Amino acid sequence: MSSPMSPTHRRGSERRPSDRRGSSFSRRDSIDPRKLVPMDKMTHISGHDDFNVVFIGAGNIMFGSEEGPWNHSFRFEHKLGRRLKVVALIDPAIERAKEVLRKKCDSFVLSAYEHTRIYKNFEEFHKNLPKSLRPRAFVVGSPPMFRGTLQSGRDIETQILKNYPGVALFIEKPIATGPIEEIEEGYKISKQIEETKTICSVGYMLRYLKAVQMMKHIIEENNLTVMTTIARYACAYEAIAKPDWWDKSKSAGPVIEQGTHFCDLSRYFGGEVDYDSVVAHSLEWDENAGQLSAMKVDESKIPPENRIPRVTSATWKYDSGAVGTFTHVVALQGTNYSCELEVYADGYCLRLVDPYVQPVLYVRKPGDDHEQTYRFPDDDPFFSEVSNLIDIIEDIEEDPDAACILSSYEDAVKTYELTWAIRKASEKSRAAKLSRQAA
């Protein structure tokens, strides 16, 4: 009888027969950084026909907020111009959907939203949307706890694949935040996407940073083998006032919900992970060093067993033999986060700093002990991932090497599996410590 952890008791390279093939729409895993054109330098994609899109979710990830740079609607508007037609907005919070549409219709993008229909769920949408308004793409930005499975009400991906075959998908990360036992369902969804040759991109936008692609270029150009990846993510917890974020029964915990981007970048450079090798430790809320003085939520209202760790630190082996490490920290106050990724190879250190705001890449090469510094002002990886997706949907032929999806659904499930392996490993080490103390 298999245990709940059985999905992680294999190497990453043993996951599925398609692992080594990659996506049908991603012929390689990197993009020439010179091909990543800033949004303000990009001309609207040519054409006169409407480009119909369905937005699933009317929250911050889709329409923006003061908390961060995410805003998918903004990027679609700038890529497609007047061709964009948002034919439907699906969200059970009807009033919120009406409000965001009102703001859009009061702006210069009126033509994209003036005929948008609001539906409370996918079933209502599918039943009532006129066939003449068939979409070219679905943008799925609903909360991850409501997707990523084969279960009714949490199976938006399979519903789209069934009812709108051939229509492209853009899905936010992480692909789910359900129990670890449901990871296998994510791989089944991935197989459906692969077998139906559906264009699908998952929103791990940091892969599209010019700095990240420059790192890839250096590694490939010099035929380097990565020796280790070292990632650190320190969040500014004072600004996190959403109670669900502090409750791992709802958010799945900070590594899965927040640290997922850096676990994904680690995999992007290190390759397939031996999940069985993951070891982790945590600093918990009830330990002396884990006391926080500037929380905006009342943690006493969260059951003790669901309170999040303050620090999670993990190490693992990649199938290549390389070593990966990741540390997530809930310690900073104010608003700015502190995030870094280091990638080492023989003679080289590639150090990425502040990727979310103003990415800086420090490069040390053989023959010079001093780091070279590269800055990337105004880089917008959110736009780059949307731009590449639309170019592939449109089958742009002018430069076939420019468009590339860097994160397939299957790849995103592997990252999700790694974050769960880290959480389970940290919980295992904590349980062992408590057991020793009780003995």
Work out whether strand 226-236 and strand 323-332 pair parallel, antiparallel, or are unpaired: parallel
Residue 2: the pLDDT is 39
Structure tokens at 344: 């080492």
Separation between Cα atoms, residue 279 and residue 422, nearest integer Å: 7
| Contact of 174 with 205, CB cutoff 8 Å | no
Asked if the model's pLDDT at residue 397 lies above 70, the reply is no
Separation between Cα atoms, residue 65 and residue 239, nearest integer Å: 13
Residue 425: the pLDDT is 98
CB count in 10 Å sphere of residue 398 = 8
Chain segment 349-396, per-residue pLDDT in tens: 999 999 998 999 999 999 999 999 999 998 999 999 999 999 999 986
Chain segment 277-326, per-residue pLDDT in tens: 999 999 999 999 999 999 999 999 999 999 999 999 999 999 999 999 99
Separation between Cα atoms, residue 383 and residue 386, nearest integer Å: 5
Q: Which residue type does 351 have?
A: R
- pTM for this entry: 0.90
Structure tokens at 106: 């009061």
Separation between Cα atoms, residue 193 and residue 301, nearest integer Å: 41
Residue 69: the pLDDT is 81
Chain segment 239-284, per-residue pLDDT in tens: 899 999 999 999 999 999 999 999 999 999 999 999 999 999 999 9
Separation between Cα atoms, residue 26 and residue 406, nearest integer Å: 7
Listed in sequence order, the residues at least 6 apart from 313 whose beta carbon sits closer than 8 Å to its beta carbon are: 280, 281, 282, 325, 326, 327, 328
DSSP assignment of 153-180 equals TS-HHHHHHHHSTT-EEEEPSSS--S-G
Among 149, 150, 152, 119, residue whose Cα is nearest residue 133: 119
pLDDT > 70 in the chain, percent: 90
Asked if the model's pLDDT at residue 438 lies above 80, the reply is yes
State yes or no: cis peptide before 174, omega within 30 of 0: yes
Listed in sequence order, the residues at least 6 apart from 126 whose beta carbon sits closer than 8 Å to its beta carbon are: 159, 163
